[in-house]
């Protein structure tokens, strides 16, 4: 049985060849950590739950030990190292001095903060199994000679909306992105921007447009780059409002001020940034009333279109 099949079995792939007499709850004994089991073919047959668990623990240890190798190394940060678990869409985050994996069961209970940071399970106190994120940091792309403005501005507004949706979904659980540092990864193939590093807070508000600008603002040096970036970000944001992914229940946790962006990055077209922020605030205020006011519901589609027209007209002047 291949490592992929072994490991996917460990995390509940609903085996079809297990004896009928084996308790059904074994199928849920290990939580599915998002590992694709489409390639699984040959499965072992167990005669007892004890045999099943013994087999799982043995293979879990065998595969995780193989993970700590140069071949599977992904990256190193200030707090740990990352390794791809072979044949899976998972990775290990281990301490900087870690060389072996302790023989301990996987703890599948994760906090809201851990979940927002893609944690799927834990081994002991300081080893985490996380979802593998297929993306590169800005620094990694720069080392390859990639033009960051070109890479970002070539993405459609849907890519920006995907990022913003991750930010707002986390904020619904009082999790907020640490965006004052470079905490975004870029998937070049599928053209996604992926936020990483979330912390818990009951008092903060999510500012997804400002968040995006803090990740890439230093690379946007011309008026055209700055305005096009902002335009794509706010158009992606408005798409989410129209789709009700940012609805009246959540508007209170959203901030669309761009004052900090203007203060730190000094965009050349300050009027465009100020006017865009002002119009976004009015749109969110209307969204907040949508559930209780028929007039607000009727006005919403027209106001969204007016906002889009304003943004698109501003961008036309740059081409």
Strand partners, 73: 83
- In a shared domain, residues 303 and 199: yes
The token pair that represents 116 in the structure block: 């927002």
Domain count, the chain: 2
Distance CA 239, CA 304 (A): 9
Distance CA 187, CA 280 (A): 28
The token pair that represents 50 in the structure block: 């004890």
Tell me which of 72, 102, 131 is where a domain ends. 131
- In a shared domain, residues 104 and 71: yes
The token pair that represents 236 in the structure block: 């992606």
The residue assigned the tokens 């009246």 is 248
Q: Which of 125, 85, 89, 131 is nearest to 107 (CA)?
A: 125
Distance CA 34, CA 130 (A): 10
- In a shared domain, residues 113 and 159: no
Tell me which of 85, 100, 131 is where a domain ends. 131
Residue-wise pLDDT tens digits, 170-179:
998 899 999 8
- In a shared domain, residues 126 and 264: no
Residue-wise pLDDT tens digits, 248-286:
888 888 999 999 999 999 999 999 999 999 999 999 999
- In a shared domain, residues 11 and 124: yes
The DSSP element (H or E) to which 174 belongs, if any, is none
Distance CA 211, CA 214 (A): 5
Q: Which of 242, 183, 179, 184 is nearest to 208 (CA)?
A: 179
pLDDT score for 110: 87
- In a shared domain, residues 123 and 251: no
How many CB atoms sit inside 10 A of residue 150's CB?
Answer: 10
Distance of CA 259 to the CA centre of its chain: 26
| Mean pLDDT, rounded, of the chain | 81
Q: Do the strands 119-123 and 127-131 form a parallel or antiparallel pair, or are they unpaired?
A: antiparallel
Q: Give this prediction's pTM.
A: 0.76
Angle at 6 between CA 24 and CA 33, to 5 degrees: 65
- In a shared domain, residues 117 and 159: no
DSSP label of 91: E
- In a shared domain, residues 178 and 296: yes
- In a shared domain, residues 145 and 278: yes
- In a shared domain, residues 21 and 42: yes
- In a shared domain, residues 102 and 145: no
- In a shared domain, residues 234 and 274: yes
- Backbone torsion region of residue 219, taken as left when φ is above 0, otherwise alpha when ψ lies between -120 and 50, otherwise beta: alpha
Strand partners, 291: none
Residue-wise pLDDT tens digits, 202-252:
778 899 999 999 999 999 999 999 999 999 999 999 999 999 999 888 888
Distance CA 72, CA 252 (A): 43
Q: What is the extent of the structural domain holding 215?
A: 138-316
Distance CA 137, CA 30 (A): 32
Residue-wise pLDDT tens digits, 143-192:
999 999 999 999 999 999 999 999 999 998 899 999 877 899 999 888 89
Contact by Cβ (8 Å): 110, 173? no
Indicate whether 98 pLDDT > 80.
Answer: yes
Share of the chain above pLDDT 70, in %: 81
Tell me which of 110, 131, 152 is where a domain ends. 131
Higher pLDDT, 51 or 138: 138
Distance CA 180, CA 255 (A): 16
């Amino acid at each position: 049985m291949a490592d992929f099949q072994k490991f996917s079995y460990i995390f509940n792939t609903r085996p079809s060849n297990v004896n009928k007499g084996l308790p059904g709850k074994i199928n849920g004994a290990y939580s599915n950590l998002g590992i694709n089991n489409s390639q699984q073919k040959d499965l072992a047959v167990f005669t007892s739950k004890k045999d099943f668990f013994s087999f799982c623990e043995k293979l879990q240890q065998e595969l995780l030990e193989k993970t700590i190798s140069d071949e599977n190394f992904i990256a190193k940060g200030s707090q740990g190292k990352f390794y791809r678990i072979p044949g899976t869409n998972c990775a290990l985050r281990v301490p900087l001095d870690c060389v072996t994996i302790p023989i301990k069961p996987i703890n599948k209970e994760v906090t809201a903060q851990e979940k927002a940071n893609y944690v799927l399970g834990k081994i002991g106190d300081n080893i985490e199994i996380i979802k593998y994120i297929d993306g590169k940091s800005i620094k990694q792309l720069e080392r390859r000679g990639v033009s960051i403005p070109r890479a970002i501005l070539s993405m459609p507004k849907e890519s920006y909306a995907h990022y913003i949706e991750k930010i707002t979904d986390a904020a619904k659980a009082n999790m907020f992105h640490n965006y004052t540092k470079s905490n975004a990864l870029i998937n070049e193939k599928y053209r996604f921007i992926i936020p990483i590093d979330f912390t818990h807070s009951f008092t903060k508000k999510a500012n997804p447009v400002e968040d995006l600008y803090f990740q890439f603002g230093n690379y946007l040096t011309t008026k055209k780059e700055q305005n096009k970036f902002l335009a794509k970000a706010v158009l992606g944001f408005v798409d989410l409002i129209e789709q009700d992914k940012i609805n009246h229940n959540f508007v209170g946790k959203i901030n669309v001020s761009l004052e900090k962006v203007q203060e730190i990055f000094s965009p050349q077209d300050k009027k465009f940034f100020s006017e865009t922020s002002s119009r976004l605030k009015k749109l969110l205020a209307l969204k907040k009333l949508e559930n209780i006011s028929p007039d607000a519901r009727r006005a919403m589609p027209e106001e969204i279109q007016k906002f889009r027209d304003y943004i698109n007209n501003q961008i036309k002047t740059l081409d």
